[in-house]
Amino acid sequence: MSRPCIALIADPTSPEGCREYLADAVELLTGAPPVRVDSRHFATGGTGRGVRDGGRLRLQVPEERLDFVPDVVLLYEIPPHHRRALAGFQELLESHDVVTLAAGPDAWRTATEKNLTVERFVRDGVAQMETAVLSRPSPREAADTFDRLGRDTWARPVVGTGGNDTFHVTTPAQLELAAAYYAERGTDWLLSRDAGNITADGRRHQFRVFVLGDRVVHAREHLQPETDTPCNTCQGATAVHIAPQDLQPRLAELAVAATASVGLPFAGVDLAVENGGVVFEVNVQPAFVDGELELRAVAVPYVQAHLDAFAPAFGGPPRGLTASA
């Protein structure tokens, strides 16, 4: 079988650098680099084109002199606020049966917009901390919700990234400031009961579990010395890596269930072991933070899953996930 043509379509404005890990993984597995494409060309209003070429999809970006037929598309590192603009492109990939684990726009939206995630978890019985969705609430509505949630809460925007615009709210004054902050930006927000996820030595902690299909491929524990600050590594938390077999079974089960609930074939799930195990959110495109380790533990299996899905079209046995449907 000839070497497949792999397109790596990502947003170069993202500071995370996941595209570099994925490009390295493609080269490790195939011996050749991917075709790199700026995802903004295929967003709403972009100049990129997808045209039918026989039974295949041809991608064209005239100003970049790109004109090729991809066998596999890696669509990754798209900032949350830019994802909706790629819904049409995701549908185009689906309609041409392009091998990709980018899922469809509905799954992306359900995981990206946290109010929808909360609703989906309620529907499917995925454990989470009690959460209220607020849209420019009156002072009385906000105060009543704060009281109901025990006056120890976390406020976060419906769409956000990296723990930005997230606040630990434990006083009426902090609640008022958070409500004003979101109102000024015109964003809906969530208020959730605190999970009490504090270690014996006084650090906030949570887990990031990478799920591919129905299995855990990697995990991290994030330890945050500042207990009023989110447990994101970009917010100062330290990552301690955990082999899949060493992860508590309850956390592995929750992570797989949460990923399936929102409809994603791959995700990074944030959760805590406290309260019997609860999920905070599902990350559509989790960042890689530790070079060689996560290249091999996450990026390589992610790319390999695409290659496994591509192989049956050329007579090889199906060994992994299928293309998104």
Domain end position, chosen among 193, 220, 242? 193
* CATH number of the domain bearing residue 162: 3.30.1490.20
**Is 290 inside any structural domain?**
no
Tell me, yes or no, whether 213 and 111 share the same domain: yes
**Is 166 inside any structural domain?**
yes
Average pLDDT, the chain: 94
Q: What's the domain range around 274?
A: 104-128+196-283
The top-scoring range by mean pLDDT among 142-156, 279-293, 298-312 is 142-156
Tell me, yes or no, whether 98 and 116 share the same domain: no
Domain end position, chosen among 162, 193, 224? 193
Tell me, yes or no, whether 113 and 210 share the same domain: yes
Domain count along the chain: 3
Q: Is the pLDDT of residue 322 over 60?
A: no
Tell me, yes or no, whether 114 and 217 share the same domain: yes
pLDDT band (50, 70, 90) for residue 289: confident
Half-sphere exposure of 298 (CA within 13 A, CB side): 29
Percent of the chain predicted with pLDDT > 70: 95
Tell me, yes or no, whether 220 and 122 share the same domain: yes
Q: Is the pLDDT of residue 164 over 90?
A: no
Averaged over 140-147, what is the pLDDT?
A: 98
Alpha helices in 196-299 (DSSP H): 249-262, 291-294
Tell me, yes or no, whether 114 and 81 share the same domain: no
Tell me, yes or no, whether 114 and 74 share the same domain: no
Q: Is the pLDDT of residue 325 over 50?
A: no
Q: Is the pLDDT of residue 18 over 80?
A: yes
Q: Tell whether the torsion through CA atoms of 172, 282, 12 and 50 is positive or negative.
A: negative
Tell me, yes or no, whether 85 and 155 share the same domain: no
Q: Which of 110, 71, 106 is nearest to 303 (CA)?
A: 71
Tell me, yes or no, whether 12 and 59 share the same domain: yes
Could you tell me if 190 and 132 are in contact, meaning their C-beta atoms sit under 8 angstroms apart? yes
pLDDT band (50, 70, 90) for residue 323: very low
Tokens coding 213: 């299909």
**Is 316 inside any structural domain?**
no
- CA–CA distances in Å: residue 325 to residues 89, 94, 113, 172: 14, 6, 21, 46
Tell me, yes or no, whether 148 and 180 share the same domain: yes
**Is 27 inside any structural domain?**
yes
- 72 by Cβ neighbours in 10 Å (0-12 / 13-18 / 19+) ranks as buried
Tell me, yes or no, whether 108 and 154 share the same domain: no
**Is 296 inside any structural domain?**
no
* CATH number of the domain bearing residue 218: 3.30.470.20
**Is 318 inside any structural domain?**
no
**Is 187 inside any structural domain?**
yes
Tell me, yes or no, whether 154 and 175 share the same domain: yes
**Is 298 inside any structural domain?**
no
